[in-house]
Amino acid sequence: MLAKTTLTALAATLTLSAALSAAADARSLEEAKASGKLIVGIQADNCPWGCLGSTGEAQGFDAAIARAFAAHLGLEAEFVPMAVANRIPGLTTDKVDVLIASLGITAERAKSVQFSQPYAENTLFVTAAKSTDLPDLASLAGRSVGVPRSTPMDTILTAEAPPETRIQRFDDDAANIQALVSGQVEALGSNQFYIQRLEAARPGEYENKFPIGALYQGIASRLGEADWNAAANEFLDAFIGSDAFDAAYAEWLQVEVPHLPDTIDGVSFTVAQQ
């Protein structure tokens, strides 16, 4: 028992040491400016937010935001494609300077990353075939429902769907969508843009059944990094409401620019002053 305890303590110490070492390797804003590049984590398979074109170039609304942020800093944007599950780990292990990766602002995530003010809204739904009768959360009892692992759709449905709901978790949005198309699940926890992809795969077959919440996306930096957080907020203060912002919203999201909240419960958009 003592040996096991000692090994557990040693493992915890090594994990902490690795985390501290990684933190020491994080690039400051000034180091990024000296390099000429802003390294941005972006989703690779979730258009219109973030995806890769046929030539491997980053596309989507998040890519447009990232390029505008880089230009604001006088830098070139360099993109690191990421899946849903490795966005936050990719940031906290210093693979990127910031995340602009359709990362919804939540109080739980704010324990791991520092969010900027929001730059976009994303409504969440339960989505299924038109022939499937799903008027509300209660109707999910006994149904199989797909969600991207560790996303707000996962959190909401895990907490609010009936206990008899069979929630199946997938690694990313693409796998979640494919699960519905292939019949692996009967419904999905989705965002407002899933329906476009489902319509492309099976025209006229699917619909959003009912909303389950709304998310607001923010630029994420590492905890305590006031330089990156301040730069992100200064950029968004200037960019949101500009002609370029409105044009990007119209091109990629194709919905009216929403009112973005000044506060979100449990989240500070600025690094706390020591």
What's the full length of the chain, in residues? 274
Is residue 43 scored above 70 in pLDDT? Answer: yes
Q: What does the pLDDT look like over 24-42, one tens digit per residue? A: 478 999 999 999 999 999 9
Q: What does the pLDDT look like over 177-225, one tens digit per residue? A: 999 999 999 999 999 889 988 999 999 999 999 999 999 999 999 999 9
Q: What does the pLDDT look like over 66-103, one tens digit per residue? A: 999 999 999 999 999 998 889 999 999 999 999 999 99
Q: Do the Cβ atoms of 43 and 54 come closer than 8 Å?
A: no
Question: 3-state DSSP call for residue 132?
Answer: coil
Stretch 103-114: mean pLDDT: 95
Alpha helices in the chain (DSSP H): 2-24, 29-35, 61-73, 87-92, 152-160, 173-181, 194-201, 226-239, 243-248
Is residue 243 scored above 80 in pLDDT? Answer: yes
pTM given for the model: 0.78
- pLDDT bin (cut points 50, 70, 90) of residue 45 is confident
- pLDDT bin (cut points 50, 70, 90) of residue 273 is low
Alpha helices in 60-128 (DSSP H): 61-73, 87-92
Q: Which residues contact 132 (CB under 8 A, 6 or more apart)?
A: 186, 187, 209
